[in-house]
Structure 1
């Protein structure tokens, strides 16, 4: 079996049986193609059925010069998943990379925006332009609901349950969750729908998609990044931000104002509470308040 054939089978497995998102699958594919390119460049003809730990270790060493510890760990994790798949499918008896240790990675703390900075970004939107109301609704939705960028661009009209105060969000692995939405955010989405979206010539494939470009088609991830980068430049914001920064800010501000960590976990769609706990570093003042208020020896 060739690398190409087994890679194709593995990608199908990730999509159909594991139900992973296309972005995650693309990342796995990219990392495995790096290995294949390394083998070709160095004239190593071994197949995935017989490649050894030493050969894989040399590959990891070669990419360590250009990738940081976090990226190396991701590549190693992806390779372990691939060879576990080969073992599971009885293509080989062992996982040659099973015992290879990943470099130690410190937990990356997310960047956040203050409420003032978020307001400044939104106020910098030029509402005289056709896309102005749309962009304001986008930023209000990112911050108001804590969505991932992929969840935002795939949000549909049929996902809006404003009377009930919720939106239906399709997250990683096509898992759906209901996220509460406040009246403030609803107001700007409705304004965009009425005064911008209703005047677009909408492509027949995207009639149910909420946020559209001027051609009536679904926005891309890159377009959302561009909108935010341009606004950050406009207000001379001295931070590197992305759509995900609004999600981090959403979670951090909820926690700072006393929201329950498990409630935040459900809204963000995190499978594990430990993923949500990363936000605990942002403001520890509530911890002091808790012990001063409730400990019997306060």
Structure 2
């Protein structure tokens, strides 16, 4: 499409599905391709929108006005929690602003859409504590080496699950200048960064490979995944994420069961709050762990691959809210001690 441009096209005759295809596959930034996972998520949300307007009798996007998009938000509001409404609304805005910028539509009709207010209490609870990490590691070390390796890698590195799923053994190396091992991964937006693999974690990784009769020699090209299947190939990101969530949240540990009880209590109170542990929970734990050990937020931003320091700050929000609590600043473990 770039070769001929968008000129001299009668967009009124172009089906909605083609407009959706253009949006999904038009490269948003030079040198940076939209991730397949993002395309799938956008497609799912926009397909839902197109089905909605078809049911309402609108065959073309050109016949929509700002009030129709606001009505769609009201429709979503009755079906989803606010965090989901926020995501779906953002996708719709992105889509229609793209069409307006390309002059496919005569104007941007998103101006009346509302921004859903999401309270911090409605966000996924991503707190994970040292004693919980130790219990999970101890349990899986005895029962499930796959889960043990997977969990150990995620909590010690802060990798995204997609970064781990796509990492290659050939991109793992030793750097003698700093006496550490590093894994090169591909992050969001195609950004490459180095992940440090500590010696104790490396021994677990090697044992995982030995159990699958795979090469453990560092610095050699063998064409296998860093965290491989039995045949050396990569796990699919979705499978790895789902399997992580399944095995961790079915571990017979009291604090995990307590998380589900909290979910049930919240639901009974009219709130949909998730307390279960996911791969992303591990990233939040890693950020808090590093900060506890004196690492500044800017260094954490680089390590986690965040494009904005604000994102890193959000990861640390809960911890900082506790540390800045007035009672903590008082410095007393016993309130009545003040009166003795």
* TM-score bracket relative to the smaller structure: 0.7 to 0.9
TM-score in terms of structure 1 length: 0.84
- Is 1:243 matched up with 2:269? no
Are residues 23 and 59 of structure 1, via their aligned partners in 2, closer, same or farther at CA, if it must alter by over 3 Å? same
Match of 1:232 in 2: 249
CA distance in 1, matches of 2:251, 2:125: 23
TM-score (norm 2): 0.74
Q: Is contact 2:97-2:110 (8 Å) kept?
A: no
| Structure (1 or 2) with the larger CA radius of gyration | 2
Partner residue in 2 for 1:173: 189
CA contact 2:161–2:240 (8 Å) conserved in 1:
no
The question of whether the paired residues in 1 share the 8 Å contact of 2:224 and 2:232 is answered with no
Question: How far apart, in 2, do the equivalents of 1:230 and 1:55 lie?
Answer: 43
Q: How far off its partner does 1:127 sit?
A: 5.2
Instruction: Pick one of 288, 292, 295 that aligns with 1:259.
Output: 295
Q: Secondary structure at the match of 1:230?
A: helix
In the aligned structure 2, how far is the partner of 1:20 from the partner of 1:150?
14
What is the aligned partner in structure 1 of residue 56 from structure 2?
42
Q: What aligned pairs does 1:113-262 form with structure 2 within 5 A after superposition?
A: 113-125=128-140, 132-163=144-175, 164-198=180-214, 207-220=223-236, 221-236=238-253, 237=256, 238-239=258-259, 240-262=276-298
Residues 121, 71 of structure 1: CA spacing in aligned structure 2 closer, same or farther, 3 A cutoff? same
Shift of 1:141: 1.1
Structure 1 residues 185, 211: closer, same or farther in 2, change over 3 A?
Answer: same
Task: Pick which of 223-232 and 149-158 moved more.
Answer: 223-232
- 1:161 and 1:137 map into 2 onto residues whose CA distance is 19
Shift in CA distance, 119/189, structure 1 to aligned 2, threshold 3 Å: same
Tell me if 1:31 matches 2:38: no
Q: Is the 8 A contact 1:258 1:286 kept in 2?
A: no
Aligned length: 280
Q: Which runs of 5+ in 2 are unaligned?
A: 1-13, 216-221, 260-275, 331-340
Residue aligning to 2:262? none
| Pick aligned residue for 1:98 from 94, 105, 111 | 111
The RMSD of aligned alpha carbons is 2.6
* Structure 1 position 8, deviation (Å): 0.6
Q: CA deviation at 1:9?
A: 0.7
Alignment match, 2:16: 3
CA deviations 1:62-88 (Å, max 9, x no partner) are: 111011222222122111111121122
**C-alpha contact 1:143 1:249 (8 A) present in aligned 2:** yes
Task: Check whether the contact 2:69–2:113 (CA below 8 A) recurs between aligned residues.
Answer: no
Q: What's the CA shift for 1:159?
A: 2.0
How many Å separate the matches in 2 of 1:254 and 1:223? 25
